[in-house]
Chains A and B, each alone.
Chain A
Amino acid sequence: MSEPVSAVKNAVFSGIVRVEDCGPQGMITLRSDASNAKLKQAVKVVIGADLPPVRGISANGDRAVAWMSPDEWLILLPYAEARAAEAELRKALAGTHHLAETVSDARAFFRVTGDAARVREVLAKLVPVDLHPARFGTGEMRRTRMAQVAAAIWLESEGEARVICFRSVGAYVFDLLSAAAANGSEVAFFDA
């Protein structure tokens, strides 16, 4: 097998924050009824994390589960482990109505790091989301519109945000984030 190539190949931009491609990232779309008795256990066993609450993301080391919709979750894990985990999930959920599909290559994945307020600002230039620290914190997964495309964002920690978008618009989103992070473009709205 060849080495996987991510959408924007380890691109980096440094301005008021640092924007970088995270490289290949394992992802699985998991769909099931939330009340499926096997679901919680399957996720716990395969991923090692609890099912997150509505709009939540719960992590276990380099694995995480994010709420995407009332019947959809996104599983994050190392790229090389995705297909195996997909098979395990299918097995664990066998006999129940579900869908587990690897989508690692369907996405682009970025890390935005820097001063906590600056990181929020850069995102707030692009998404119609209230990113005030009082109302958006770590542990929340936010699917939204980033400029003209769909995206999902969350805070890994204060000063470190993650952005997921479709692979085909990875370059667009990287350029957007870079433009929003241009030097001299501090807003100082979240500083107070």
Chain B
Amino acid sequence: MLILECPYCGLHADETELAPGGEAHLKRFGPGSSDDDFEGYLFMRENPKGVHFERWRHANGCGKWFHAARDTNTLEVFGTYSAQTTEPPQDIKDKISARRPGWTWREFA
């Protein structure tokens, strides 16, 4: 039972107020894209034991989608941030690097 801070209302929301939305930072591929790109967008997902970026919605709350960076193994939460970005903000990346030395963006696990 996680608690995640909704970056919009500032609440530390109980997991039962939230709805999960899978992996964050996917790039959409539409008509005209290659089969490989489209397959990657629609189906291929990271499943790391460790650092991961996820989409969550404060469904029973302000209704906003946000992103969470957390460790799927220890459940440590490195931070939550706006869903309206294509990659994690620098302070989140720095925090992860401090807690998980050697980690780099787009290298899950």
Contact = CB atoms under 8 A, between A and B. Distances in A.
Interface of A: 54-55, 68-70, 72, 128, 143-145, 150
A11 B82 CA distance: 42
Contact of B9 (A55, A128, A145, A150): A55
Nearest to A149: B60
Contact of A145 (B11, B16, B64): B16
Interface of B: 8-11, 14, 16-17, 59-64
Closest 6 interchain pairs by CB? A145-B60, A128-B14, A69-B62, A150-B60, A143-B61, A70-B8
Contacts of A143: 9, 60-62
A54 B64 CA distance: 14
A54 B61 CA distance: 12
Interface SS of chain A: helix, strand, loop or mixed?
strand
A174 B9 CA distance: 27
Given A69-B64, A70-B64, A145 B8 contact: no
Given A54-B10, A55-B11, A70-B8, A145 B62 contact: no
Contacts of B8: 69-70
A70 B62 contact: yes
Contacts of A70: 8, 62, 64
